[in-house]
Structures are given as C-alpha cells and as structure tokens.
C-alpha cells in the first residue's frame, strides 16, 4: 500500500526521530540490583569466590584479577573489559572467549548495559 504524500512525510519524520533518539542511559543503580541478584551467586566486588572479584574490572585485562585461578582460555585472552567486550561477554561468554568457564548469560541488552554501568562505577571509571 502506498501512503499519500503528507502521511508518508510524517511517517518518515517519526522514523527519523526514533532513529535519532539516544538509547536510554544505563542505570547503575538498577545495575547494582541486577549485579547482586544475578551475579552475586558467584561474584563479589572485593573477594575472589566462584568467580573473580569485580572491583576494578572495567578497564582491566581479562584474567588479571590477583590470586584468582582463571581458565587457560581467559588467562591467555587479550580482551580488555570495557563497554563492548563486557556486553559481548554477558551476551555469550563462550562466543567471546571459547573455553571460558562462566557461561552465564544476560539476555536483555538494557540489563547488560545497567550491569556494565555499575561495574564501571565501582571501578572508578
């Protein structure tokens, strides 16, 4: 179906506005809630548990938290943890670093963004 000229312009304008609108800002406060409920089974900010301590993780090379026994895959990885790599990691860890041991996935992009915002905040970045 072909739209008349004016509605077509309106539809294009709405589409352009939607495309130009920035994604909702990541919410570190919500990220903390998510971190505690979703990541807290294995991780703490300041102690190595099932997984490594997370304070300072943002900007850190993968496999470099002191005194944590990493998989060979993570230890030998060249990944540095920042927005893009953390998002890929939380989406599918095995796809980013085959042979890793976490395997925990966060399905929703907004949740991943909020968790990353919290980790960044706790890393002082």
Distances (CA, A) of 73 to 17, 22, 27, 81, 87: 43, 36, 31, 15, 18
> Out of 64, 85, 94, 121, which residue is the one contacting another protein (CB under 8 A)?
94
- Region binding another protein by CB under 8 A among candidate stretches 22-30, 74-82, 93-101, 113-121: 93-101
What is the distance between the terminal CA atoms of the chain, rounded to a whole angstrom? 51
Here's the x/- map for another protein, 2-31, by CB under 8 A: it reads as ------------------------------
Backbone angles phi, psi at 97, to 5 degrees: -130, 90
Kindly write out the interface string for residues 54-73 of this chain, putting x where it contacts another protein by CB under 8 A and - elsewhere: -----------------x--
Geometric angle at alpha carbon 69, from 49 and 96, rounded to 5°: 95
Residue ranges that bind another protein, judged by CB under 8 A? 36-42, 44, 47-50, 71, 92-94, 99-107
């Amino acid at each position: 179906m072909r739209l008349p000229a004016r509605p077509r312009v309106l539809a294009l304008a709405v589409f352009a506005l939607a495309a130009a609108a920035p994604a909702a800002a990541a919410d570190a406060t919500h990220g903390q809630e998510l971190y505690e409920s979703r990541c807290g089974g294995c991780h703490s900010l300041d102690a190595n548990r099932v997984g490594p301590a997370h304070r300072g993780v943002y900007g850190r090379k993968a496999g470099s938290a002191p005194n944590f026994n990493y998989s060979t895959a993570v230890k030998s990885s060249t990944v540095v943890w920042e927005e893009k790599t953390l998002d890929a990691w939380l989406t599918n860890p095995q796809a980013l670093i085959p042979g890793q041991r976490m395997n925990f996935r966060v399905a929703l992009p907004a949740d991943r963004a909020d968790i990353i915002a919290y980790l960044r905040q706790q890393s002082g970045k």
